[in-house]
Structure 1
Amino acid sequence: MFANERRIQITEMLNRRSSVTVNELTDTFQVSLETIRRDLEYLEKQGALKRVHGGAVTVHKMQNYISLSSRVSEHREEKRKLALASLPFIHEEDRIALDTGSTSFELASLLCERFSRLTIVTNSLEVFQILSGKEGFQTVLTGGFYMPGEKTFYGHLALDMIKQLHVSKFFLAPSAVSLDFGISDHIHEMIAVQRALIAISDQIIVQADSSKFETCAALKVCDLNPRFLYFTDSGLPDEIAEAYRKAGLQITKC
């Protein structure tokens, strides 16, 4: 097999999956380790992949916006696992903030089951409705202009209110996470609220299922930060998780 043909096949493998290992490539193509390393180095220079320890990962893919009504049913089991993994970081009488979106819906439901006294700040009407019937919870809805499609509040009124508050933890549920581009999402008005909630929080816990890693949404929320905790599900390839750890990031597969 010629080198160009082999490199095309490696690229096709990465288009179907998010990562490949050097060992599986040597087995697949029956060539030496050095040959595969040269292939990966060449493909990285062409912008076709990103080399990591032990293999390569896909370069970040652009995500299309998906409506909230569709997102609710996507990766439901993985989102519940992320919510469960977050519970040990929450304590009775904590003051926390929850992002908008379907991952936060799962966490809000679990909070009602597991805790008696919490203060929760959110700009999500759906999260507020889940929490509002729980006796002993103090739920703070930011208010502001309302975005029906996302069932969320935004704008300067929401931002002004958030600036008056302080929370111990913010559970951020973005659309995409990438080593190169950072944390990103689709809607400008929602990103402004996410940034404001980051600013008032002592600790940031990023909840992103494995499908969101090494992808990019249209707009950047912030850079990846070693102080943040990153929770994902077991579907994230080990090669990608290791690349994040080597970058000094605290990533946990649930």
Structure 2
Amino acid sequence: MLSDRLKAVVNRVDHLGSVSVNDLSEQFGVAVETVRRDLRVLEEAGYLRRTHGGACSLLDNDEVLAFGSRQSENADAKAKMADRAISLVKEGDRIFLDPSSSCWYLARALPDIPLTVMTNSVRIVFDLVQKSNIKVIGIGGRYYEKYGAFLGSITVSNILDFHADICFHSCAGFLPESGAWDSNALNVGVKKAMLRASDTHALLCDTSKVGRGGFMLINELNSIHCRVDEKGIHGALKRTT
């Protein structure tokens, strides 16, 4: 849980869009080094992005395609990838699904078995509520119609109140030497929170994304327990039980 000061820092950054270390130091009456440490903690938790001399909000970043556009890209590959990913899911699992189109394909393919699915995607919620054996938990926050999802600091905070067996997440690009990357800081904050709150991580990444980077690193290579594409499953989930 965040301290009152850290919550106030996030609110200040989100309200102004960006703020300097010196301004935060003066406002909260703490040393500059304390502010830098606070910003480091908040960035790692997915609440903001540090900049040279300050921090900026993750809200209203407009660098990623709308959901409808992503949904139609490589549709056949995503459908095949979802069918392969189903084998990773066991009855009784608690899983996170990020708001990506890849996870939407997986949600639609999930069998109607006892599961708990937690997601910030409105579209995934609408598809899963038709499956009576799946308990659906919608994670709220500030809603963005373009992405069909709740995003931002409130969403990140709500995610960290839960725990999942598996986090399924996608990416804008995958580099074999570093890991999974994305192009939108707002989505990265949500995905990182889901990864922190999960025992094991499965990356949904069709082959068109391999060799491409992005603006921010979502998940380091050694933290991706398995990667799923339209051709198969690479690696294995590290289940605790």
TM range (shorter): 0.5 to 0.7
- Report the equivalent of 2:98: 99
Give how far 1:227 is off.
Answer: 5.1
Asked whether the equivalents of residues 115 and 134 of structure 2 are also in contact (C-alpha less than 8 Å), the reply is yes
- Report the equivalent of 2:82: 83
1:64-107 per-position Cα deviation (integer Å, ceiling 9, x unaligned): 84332111111111111111111111111211111112111111
Give how far 1:219 is off.
Answer: 1.9
CA separation in 2, counterparts of 1:227 and 1:160? 23
Q: Identity of counterpart residues, as a percentage? A: 25
Give how far 1:152 is off.
Answer: 0.9
1:222 aligns with 2:219: yes
CA separation in 1, counterparts of 2:224 and 2:218? 16
CA separation in 1, counterparts of 2:220 and 2:161? 24
| Within-5 A mapping of 1:23-62 | none
Structure of larger gyration radius: 1
Structure 1: unaligned runs, 5 residues or longer: 1-63, 242-248
Instruction: Report the CA distance shift for 1:95/1:185 in structure 2 as closer, same or farther (over 3 A).
Output: same
Structure 2: unaligned runs, 5 residues or longer: 1-62, 237-241
2:175 aligned to 178, 183, 207, which one?
178
TM-score, normalised via structure 2 length: 0.67
Q: Which stretch has the larger CA shift, 143-152 or 130-139? A: 130-139
1:157 aligns with 2:154: yes
Give how far 1:181 is off.
Answer: 4.2
- Report the equivalent of 1:68: 67
Asked whether the equivalents of residues 71 and 102 of structure 1 are also in contact (C-alpha less than 8 Å), the reply is yes
SS in 1 for 2:218: strand
- Report the equivalent of 2:40: none
CA separation in 1, counterparts of 2:112 and 2:90? 8
CA separation in 1, counterparts of 2:65 and 2:161? 32
1:206 aligns with 2:191: no
Give how far 1:180 is off.
Answer: 3.8
Please give the root-mean-square deviation of Cα atoms over the aligned residues, in Å: 2.1
1:189 aligns with 2:186: yes
